[in-house]
Chain A
Amino acid sequence: MRYEIRVEGHMSETLTRAFPELDHVVMSGQTVLYGSVVDEAHLYGLLARCQSLGLRVMEMRQLPE
């Protein structure tokens, strides 16, 4: 399954390395992380990682395959 996670603010290149499994794009005050998510556990892990990095998650949704 593919997901995108929208976080508030522009993430630095360094910080995006904390999500090596996801691609990212920066746009209008937000950063979108997107890519394949292995399973639910991975999904929750990504959310926890956002929290650990002090990121504010604005939106998360599954993408059509």
Chain B
Amino acid sequence: MAGLEESGPEASSPRADPQGDPFLRTRFAVPTRPATFLRRERLVNHLDQALLTPLTMVNGAAGAGKTLLVADWAAGRDRPVAWLTTDAADQGCGMFWAYLLQALRSSGVPLPAEIGFPADASRVDHTLLARLAADLSARDRPVIVVLDEYDRVTDPEIAEQLEFVLHHAGRGMRLILVTRTEPLLPLHRYRAAGDMTEIRAAELAFTSEEAAALLELHGLRVPVPAARALVERTRGWAAGLRLCALAAQESPDPETYLKEFEADRTTVADFLLAEVLKRQTPETQDLLLRVSVLERFCPELANALTERTDAEPILAGLHRGNAFVEHLGHAWYRLHPLFGEILHAHLRVRSPLLEPELHRRAAEWLRRCGSLVETLGHGVAAGDWEFTAGALVDDLAIGQLFTGLRSDDLAELFSRMGPEAKSPATDLVRAARELSRCRLDRGLTHLRRAEQSLAEERPTADGAPGLAAAQLSCALLEALAARLAGSPGRAKTAAQTAEKLQEEVPTHLLDEHPELTALLMTHLGSTWLWAGRFEDARAALTTAAGCSGGASTALPREESLGHLALIDYLNGWLGRAERKALAAMTETARFGLPRASGSGIWLLVLAAVAVDRNELGQAQTLLDAAADSHGAMRDPVAAAGRAIATGRLLLARGKTRAALEAAEPAVAADVVSPWAEGHTALVASAAHLAEGRPETAAKLLQAVPDDQVACAVEAARAQLAAGRPVAAIDLLDSARPVGRTGPAVTVRASLVRAEAADRSGDSATSRRLVAQALHEARRERLRRPFLEAGPWIRPLLSTGPLRGLAAGWLTPVPSPHGGPPRLEDQLPAPVVEELSGRERDVLQRLAQMMSTEEIAADLYVSVNTVKTHLKSVYRKLAVNRRHDAVRRARELRLL
């Protein structure tokens, strides 16, 4: 596990979050306390308890003074405090943990590199959390972690994960949650065990003495009884008192003002904010209202919204006076959350039409200086789809609509785009969305429209960097469309166009988006594969499979490895196909990508391999898994792969009629795929043969292009069954297996020859050929050909040296009391492969009735890894259920 992460480009501490954007440093900054901050010793003393309990919760309404209390306390620690202001924008677990890890690192908590970090915004590997907890638990002094505005975390999964880390970090971690609402943690458990420090609203409320002291900091002398009235009016609410002080400060007669306020009956914040706001200069008021559409801002961004240049002194002044804004460090500010909402309401009243325009200006500024995600967010808020789609396409980020990383978020973002938005970029986004759901016709309509308008666009004098990016995006979508249509000619043209365009696009964009090339090569390879051009396909797919780039290219890597596995399977190399298919699975399991995004071709290959090994239950499970979770990509290759695996499985189960139906090609494609046709004919022929119609079987295969060895072998089998051994041998001789053909084909060929020899009475040759077939098949556990061979082979396998060759993997180990082993006695199949150490670990825990999740936590590996181990344990033990696995393991004394 650690090895994997170390080898990647992401080995050391990352500079970017899982979405590839730089971390917002402002979210790690402990907020600075204004000059008028009042330290309240009773709260500080209570908060000191936080060092003694794993969990501390500071809980109160907006403006209750929670954040400043904890910030002040944190600043007084003799050791670093990891501070993270959570953000509603990144709800994904991956983003949360990436930021939390970064918060730890930037506060100076050394974390070993092998903890790794989440690569996907929406998921986090459980083992990462386990490693983090283990590292924290080994520390002498606890690490203090503050999560501010934790109420923004609404995902119960994050709460669960936080609870897991907190629990397993033991004394190594002290967590302080600053929140407006009760968090989704099992608080009662912590309370009952006395493991929790709680500071709630009642305790945060100002006392009369404290209120008087606070007003004094603002230069207002108020006797305690008068302060008591104020406390009653505001219920000790910190923000209310602070606004009150600000308003009174600027009033000619503060004392009378305070009296009036007491008597007033309006809502506190509403009234006070309006009061304080109207005392600001018009410029300041304008700035405050406009920035209320932003989460955070720096002076330049504020200037972009006001179209003035005075933001810097205004913001500095507001911060000094502790009015409205908080300083986040690095010249970034935000509005106090409470005032932000009210200011937003004021903006809507004063300038109802300005809001979209402000979002548009923010989006434009962010496009130049900020992150793509924020740009897109404001672009959408402005309702400017041409701009938003243009930003995505110009950034060469269109591939992210497919790669499963941000694809869900992006799809959601653009799902609100109406038909009125018209630009090449919006058409490209529409085409991408349709094609990603395999709606070829609709996708092509949009794509053609985009191409047409791009062709009319002339490169402007300044080089129009967007044009090449848009054309490259077109080429990518064209390649995908070609793949879905099974059209190698179009895929090739698209790839050539893309190659030329890649020279025109800025290099840094290509470097930032490795998924573009990886996707392109996968589509090209898939199309070559469909057309039967295995060598061209292999070249393109190998390029895609070798792409670096971590999570962003995981999906194309999975797909290309799956396709390479299919090539091996079609050539008859089961072991190689299986290894590549498992590697494909590892690619996405590693990044926890959503299963549905790819074609799941590797599952189909594994299923087909399982059929050839006569592990039919396993094959069915794999096919079901492929049908359940891989709906997204329906290209001809996947459809043909499914038809082959399903047809062969049904044949093996003796359901010949169903096999005939399943093997029928259900795909429309521009060119005929020789292997897809060949295999359809093969299954059909085998079905007819099984039902005793060798003539029909032989005829079916005549139509197949003759360079397919597998079909020639099956045709020979049909000829032999029809009583024409000479014709059979002729067929085999003329289709002499070439070098690349693997055991799944050659073993079948040897068996046809052996049967012919057996029929002609040449038992020596027959034995020799069967022995050769057994030798070849043994390593691959290729059982199906022997089971299909017919009754003639049984006597051979049960006697002499052949019995030894078959025993242990094809036929049961002979019992000491003799008696001929029967091929039908296959089940329970013997263990043919040693269990690995890790598989044994998993099996032992399985026997202890532990759940998959528990095993994962216990072994510090991911749930997916455990599932992988379980799958191979099941396969090696030839069972389908955990109960059977345990029983079988006990029988074999593995436990």
Residues of chain A lying within 8 A (CB to CB) of residue B237? 54
**Residue interface mask A5-35, B partner, CB < 8 A = 1:** 0011111111101100000000001010000
Q: Is residue A51 contacting chain B, with contact meaning CB distance below 8 A?
A: yes
Contact check: which of A12, A54, A55 meets B239 at CB < 8 Å? A54
The answer to whether A7 and B267 touch across the interface, beta carbons within 8 angstroms, is: yes
Contacts of A9 in B (CB 8 A): 265-268, 270-271
B265 touches A51 (CB 8 A): no
Return chain A residues, CB-CB under 8 Å to B235. 56
Query: Across the interface, which residues of A come within 8 angstroms of B271, CB to CB?
Result: 9, 12
Query: Of A11, A29, A49, A52, which one neighbours B270 at CB under 8 angstroms?
Result: A11
Q: How far is the CA of A11 from the CA of B345 in the complex (A)?
A: 12
Looking at the complex, which one of A17, A31, A49, A51 makes contact with B267 (CB distance below 8 Å)? A31
Q: Taking CB as reference atom, which chain A residue is nearest B266? A: A10
Q: Which of B233-261 contact A (CB under 8 A)?
A: 235, 237, 239-240
Residues of A within 8 A of B265 (CB): 9-10, 29
Chain B neighbourhood of A53, CB < 8 A? 269-270, 338, 341-342, 345
Q: Is the interface of B mostly helix, strand, loop or mixed?
A: helix
In the bound complex, CA of A14 to CA of B235 (Å): 23
Shortest C-beta distance, B83 to chain A (Å), equals: 22
Q: Is the CB of A15 within 8 A of B342?
A: yes
Contact with A along B110-123 (1 / 0, CB 8 A): 00000000000000
B199 at the interface (CB under 8 A from A): no
Which one, B63, B239, B274, B349, contacts A17 given CB within 8 A?
B349
> Which residues of chain B from 348 to 390 have a CB within 8 Å of any chain A CB?
348-349
Question: Contact: B345 with A54, CB < 8 Å?
Answer: no
| Closest CB in chain A relative to B17 CB, distance in Å | 26
Residues of A near B181 (CB, < 8 A) are 51
Contacts of A31 in B (CB 8 A): 267
Closest to A8 in B: B267
Tell me if B344 counts as interface (CB < 8 A to partner A).
Answer: yes
* Contact of A51 with B266 in the complex, beta carbons under 8 Å: no
Q: Are A18 and B345 in contact (CB under 8 A)?
A: yes
How far, in Å, is A46 (CB) from chain B's closest CB? 13
In the complex the two chains form, is B267's CB within 8 Å of A52's CB? no
Distance (Å) between the CB of B721 and the closest chain A CB? 67
B579 in contact (CB, < 8 A): no
Q: Are B267 and A10 in contact (CB under 8 A)?
A: yes
- Known A9-B267, A29-B265, A53-B342; contact A17-B61, beta-carbon cutoff 8 A: no
Residue of A nearest to B272 (CB): A54
> Inside 8 A of A56's CB, which chain B residues have their CB?
235, 267
Decide: B266 and A54 in contact? CB cutoff 8 A: no
Q: Which residues of B contact A49 (CB under 8 A)?
A: 341
Contact of B268 with A54 in the complex, beta carbons under 8 Å:
yes
| Cβ-closest chain A residue relative to B271 | A12
Residue interface mask B48-63, A partner, CB < 8 A = 1: 0000000000000111
CA distance A11 to B266 in the complex (A): 6
Whole-angstrom distance between the alpha carbons of A8 and B585 in the complex? 58
- Encoded as 1 (CB less than 8 Å from any A CB) or 0, chain B from 314 to 355 comes to 000000000000000000000001100110111011000000
Contacts of A14 in B (CB 8 A): 270, 274, 345-346, 349
| Chain B residues, Cβ within 8 Å of A52 | 62, 337-338, 341
Closest CB in chain A relative to B286 CB, distance in Å:
16
- Nearest CB of A to B263, in Å: 12
Besides A14-B270, A54-B269, 20 more A-B contacts (Cβ < 8 Å) are A7-B267, A9-B267, A10-B265, A10-B267, A11-B267, A12-B274, A13-B349, A14-B346, A14-B349, A15-B267, A15-B270, A17-B348, A18-B342, A18-B348, A54-B237, A54-B240, A54-B270, A54-B342, A55-B267, A55-B269
Residues of B within 8 A of A (CB): 61-63, 180-181, 235, 237, 239-240, 265-271, 274, 337-338, 341-342, 344-346, 348-349
27 sample A-B contacts, Cβ–Cβ < 8 Å, listed by A number: A7-B267, A8-B267, A9-B265, A9-B271, A10-B265, A11-B266, A11-B267, A12-B266, A12-B270, A12-B274, A13-B349, A14-B270, A14-B274, A15-B270, A17-B348, A18-B345, A18-B348, A29-B265, A51-B62, A51-B180, A53-B269, A54-B61, A54-B63, A54-B240, A54-B267, A54-B338, A54-B342
